[in-house]
Structure 1
Amino acid sequence: MKIAMIGGSGFVGTRLIDLLKEDSKNYECKNIDLLPSHFFNDITVIGDVREQAQMDRELKGADVIILLAAQHRDDVTPVSLYYDTNVGGMEVTLRAMEKNGCRRIIFFSSVAVYGLNKKNPDENHPKDPFNHYGKSKWQAEQVLEKWYASHPDWNIDIIRPTVIFGERNRGNVYNLLKQISSGKFLMVGKGENKKSMAYVGNIVAFVKYLIDNVTKGYNVFNYIDKPDNNMNQLVAHVSNVLNKHIPATHFPYWLGMLGGYGFDVLAKITGKKLTVSSVRVKKFCATTEFDAKKAHSCGFKAPFTLDEGLARTLEFEFVHPRTDDIQFISE
């Protein structure tokens, strides 16, 4: 099976290629990305999902397309880049697939399409994205839905993952784990808000499961590793894995948001991208709990529990000495 990944040089794509290459007799992988790959340059072509002629050429012969390419950070400017890449890139990809006779696509969307503080939404929950990333992902899904209406013989699988973490990732979960493990953690709010997470080892296994088993129809899956931890439970788990006492100072929500707005002003004045912002404080304090029964009842069995994924990440990043400085920057 020939698999073409668009945007596979990043965190998830790298782990997915690594998993599929373990079974090289059954899978032939190709990666198309704006950036070279840290580990798989032998199968990587430098390319732009927004360029029609290039995608027409590079998707030739593919059996399955995995679309990972996206603008995802909170601070992308201009905001039109979200829509040029996340929506425009989808349109380009579909046209290139049709030209090359490829009728299977796995698209990485996001739970951001639901918005903040929703009560355990499943895949049919109303969409209410609050930022340009979520809005552009939802628009890309709408492009897919419209396409499927006129291409009912295609197989379209959409994955809406929650925040993904794991070894080598430098995103919000890593920053949170680093701050907790430092012993200087500042908890905004009571710490009772639940934080949904997905370990990268599980989500790439889920993609492989879809490649092998879900070959018909239009399917949408939330992906979250269960059960969800709240912030207090997460601190306790980090403390247990690292075998150290980790105190947590609680600050009221209003004070945390006030500080976030202060950093917003500072970022605007200095023109620098700062690690603290009002959006990130709001996301930190939000309950991010999502229904994932569909993914976990379709026959897929996650190879790791959430706590095992957290432990593997903590041990790799904070316990065992690193042998290189390769890392992936994400949210």
Structure 2
Amino acid sequence: MKKVLITGKTSYIGRSFKAYVEANYPAEIQVDSISVRGDAWQSYDFSGYDAVLHLAGKAHADVSNVSEKVKQEYYAINKDLAVAVAEKYKSERSGFSQFIYLSSIIVYGQKVERITAKTPTNPDNFYGDSKVQAELALKPLSNDTFQVLLIRPPMIYGPHSKGNFPVLVKLAKTTPIFPKVTNQRSILFIDNLNEFIHQLIMNQQETNTYFPQNQEYVNTTELVQLIRHLQHKHMLLLPGFNGFVHMLMEQTNKFGTYANKAFGSLTYEKQLATLNKIRVSDYQVLSFEESIRRSI
């Protein structure tokens, strides 16, 4: 049995992964969780764990108008804390171990539509940069027995998830009319991510950067339409809005940011999955429609 420690006890992904493992793989993985707020965690014994899943972090919020103090908090939590946890784990653990860090697709910024193996990181704000700096600081810690696994997921959705998905659900519930827009986005159902992490741990993957996603790209209009359909509601789609939406997306203000989040294209090239031994089909636990049904 593998022993896994989650740092970030109250995180959405941490709680979801623990529940998923206990429901599906109770004989394979034992999951413990601790908080890394304050200094008490520094006295916790990390030596008995085969893997540490580091999920503590300062979440993405409105980054348009914040103080320098708040910006530094992002770096202190997303980078410095992650490195401190990794260094403590490495110093206490003997034998093979894995440190799994949850980064984000946000490290590429919003000026790119299709991400390939050659796409450089290019964050548009300090939140994305704090993730990039964490990755850069963690990579040198890896060696033959201490693996650093970086995960850059796209938008994660699931029951009680946070972020952009519940905003879309709320919009779908209240809006019977929606623009017909052509776009593609990579997204990731929470249990697909949980299964992906399970396979990372059980199969001892190599030190690398990973890009899990759903098997299908999603179109925002079709996603909102599906949510309406699952609620037994009709939706009227308005064609001819692509030009207007793209005009909004070119703005450098909040409207441009929101338009990009809602209607911009942002996908991981499917070939990225071939960079590691876990195929996309290996961790798809539900059909896309059923994953949306359970999430709403």
TM bucket, shorter chain:
0.7 to 0.9
- Map 1:177-216 onto structure 2 (within 5 A): 177-183=169-175, 187=179, 191-213=181-203, 215-216=204-205
User: Are 1:130 and 2:130 matched, yes or no?
Assistant: no
After superposition, the CA RMSD in angstroms is 2.7
> Could you say which residue in structure 2 is the equivalent of 1:81?
73
Aligned to 1:313: 295
Following superposition of structure 1 onto structure 2, how do residues 19-98 of structure 1 map, counting pairs within 5 Å? 19-22=20-23, 23-33=25-35, 47-48=36-37, 51=39, 54-55=41-42, 57-75=44-62, 77=66, 78-98=70-90
TM-superposed deviation, 1:164: 0.4
Change (3 A) 1:137 1:20: same
**In 2 relative to 1, CA 80–278 (structure 1 residues): closer, same or farther, beyond 3 Å?**
farther
Show the counterpart of 1:298. 278
TM-score by length of structure 2 reads 0.83
Find the residue that maps to 1:106 and give its secondary structure.
strand
Matched residue SS, 2:215:
strand
Quote the Cα distance in structure 2 between the aligned partners of 1:120 and 1:7: 31
1:161 Cα offset (Å): 0.4
Secondary structure of the residue aligned to 1:298 is coil
1:89 CA drift (Å) = 1.2
Helix, strand or coil: the match of 1:169? Answer: coil
3-state SS of paired residue (2:186): strand
Q: Structure 1-normalised TM-score?
A: 0.75
The one-letter amino acid of 2:82's match is: M
Partner of 2:258: 280
Contact in 2 for aligned 1:260/1:279 (Cα 8 Å): yes
Aligned length: 280
Task: Work out the CA distance in 1 between the residues paired with 2:287 and 2:207.
Answer: 28
Distance (whole Å) between structure 1 residues aligned to residue 285 and residue 42 of structure 2: 34
Change (3 A) 1:135 1:119: same
Q: Is the 8 A contact 1:113 1:127 kept in 2?
A: yes
Unaligned runs of 5+ in 2: none
Shift of the alpha carbon at 1:20?
1.6
SS in 1 for 2:267: coil
> 1:260–1:184: structure 2 CA closer, same or farther, 3 Å change rule?
farther
Q: Distance in 2 between matches of 1:224 and 1:185?
A: 29
**Deviation, structure 1 residue 203:** 0.6
Cα distance, 1:86 vs. partner? 0.7
In structure 1, the partner of 2:140 is 146
Letter of the 1:70 counterpart: G
- Paired residue for 1:6? 7
How far apart are 1:185 and its partner, in Å? Answer: 5.6
Cα pair 1:118 1:288 within 8 Å, conserved: yes
- The Cα shift of 1:216 comes to 4.8
Q: Which residue of 2 aligns with 1:36?
A: none
SS of residue paired to 1:198: strand
Answer whether contact 1:161 1:224 (CA < 8 A) is retained: yes
Identity %: 21
State the Cα deviation string for residues 3-58 of structure 1 (Å, max 9, x = none): 1101132211111001122333332221122xxxxxxxxxxxxx32x74x733524
2:115 alignment counterpart: 121
Equivalent residues in 2 for 1:142-291 (5 A)?
Answer: 142-148=136-142, 151-183=143-175, 187=179, 191-213=181-203, 215-248=204-237, 250=241, 252-253=244-245, 261=253, 279-291=257-269
Mapped to 2, the partners of 1:16 and 1:229 lie a distance apart of 24
- List runs of 5+ in structure 1 lacking aligned partners: 34-46, 265-276, 315-331
Q: Is the 8 A contact 1:165 1:198 kept in 2?
A: yes
How much has 1:126 moved relative to structure 2? 1.0
- Aligned counterparts of 2:56 and 2:48: Cα–Cα separation in 1: 20
